[in-house]
């Protein structure tokens, strides 16, 4: 039951983009088409899950064990950057088709603050490894859901008449705000 609550809270109630405002750059930048949003969502899910596992283990067995907790942020940044590069190299050699599908988004993920934010939140919430994995996957699903919904809305907005002063970023920000308000409706669930 606890895992279900973590899942619902991470996907709907405390959505990483719409409630915690992490990962706004790819949310606004990659959300023009549903296909690219789905690709980015898949890449974030893959990298976020692996990064959370690795950073959790490093925190527990290296930083906490040797009293180096103050090095958490810089260590996590370096680990995430190295992990993304390693995943990119492995995908290029093992599965060129998957590399072509995710390859465009992997460099963007290195600078996605959502990845670092979730890695730190898992430690702050004092989750165990299984809870951390559930939270990471749920957060990534919530990120992908918000990104795909937003991309669908933006595709529809591209086909409508919008006043000249509202085209581009202004209408995107208003739409994101309305989407965030819609997700606030889930706040009574958990």
User: Rounded CA gap, 47 and 52, in Å?
Assistant: 8
Q: What does the pLDDT read at residue 103?
A: 66
DSSP state of 13: I
Distance of CA 155 to the CA centre of its chain: 21
User: How do the pLDDT tens digits run along the chain, 190 residues long?
Assistant: 899 999 999 999 999 999 998 888 888 877 788 888 888 888 888 889 999 999 999 999 999 999 999 999 999 999 999 988 888 888 788 878 777 766 667 777 777 889 999 999 999 999 999 999 999 999 999 999 999 999 999 999 989 999 999 988 899 999 999 999 999 988 887 7
Alpha-carbon torsion, ordered 81, 29, 43, 13, to 10 deg: 100
- Return the pLDDT at 94: 80
Separation between Cα atoms, residue 2 and residue 17, nearest integer Å = 23
- pTM for the predicted model, two decimal places: 0.88
Residue closest to 62 by CA, chosen among 75, 74, 52: 75
Token couple for 21 = 């405002």
Tokens at 146, concatenated:
């918000």
Distance CA 117, CA 57 (A): 16
DSSP 66: T
pLDDT at 126: 94
Q: Give pLDDT, residue 98.
A: 72
- State the chain's maximal CA–CA distance in angstroms: 60
8-state DSSP, 63: I
What pLDDT sits at residue 75? 95
According to the model, what pLDDT value does residue 97 have? 76
Q: What is the length of the chain? A: 190
């Amino acid at each position: 039951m606890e895992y279900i609550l973590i899942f619902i809270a991470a996907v709907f109630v405390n959505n990483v983009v719409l409630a915690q405002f992490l990962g706004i750059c790819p949310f606004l930048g990659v959300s023009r088409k549903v296909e690219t949003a789905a690709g980015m969502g898949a890449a974030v899910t893959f990298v976020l899950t692996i990064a959370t596992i690795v950073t959790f283990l490093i925190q527990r067995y290296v930083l906490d064990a040797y009293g180096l907790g103050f090095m958490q942020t810089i260590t996590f940044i370096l680990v995430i950057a190295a992990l993304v590069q390693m995943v990119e190299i492995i995908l290029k050699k093992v599965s060129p088709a998957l590399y072509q599908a995710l390859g465009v988004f992997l460099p963007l993920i290195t600078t996605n603050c959502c990845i670092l934010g979730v890695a730190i939140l898992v430690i702050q919430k004092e989750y165990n490894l299984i809870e951390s994995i559930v939270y990471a996957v749920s957060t990534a699903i919530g990120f992908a859901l918000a990104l795909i919904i937003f991309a669908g809305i933006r595709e529809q907005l591209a086909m409508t008449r919008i006043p000249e002063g509202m085209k581009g970023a202004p209408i995107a920000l208003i739409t994101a705000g309305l989407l965030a308000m819609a997700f606030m409706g889930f706040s009574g669930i958990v």
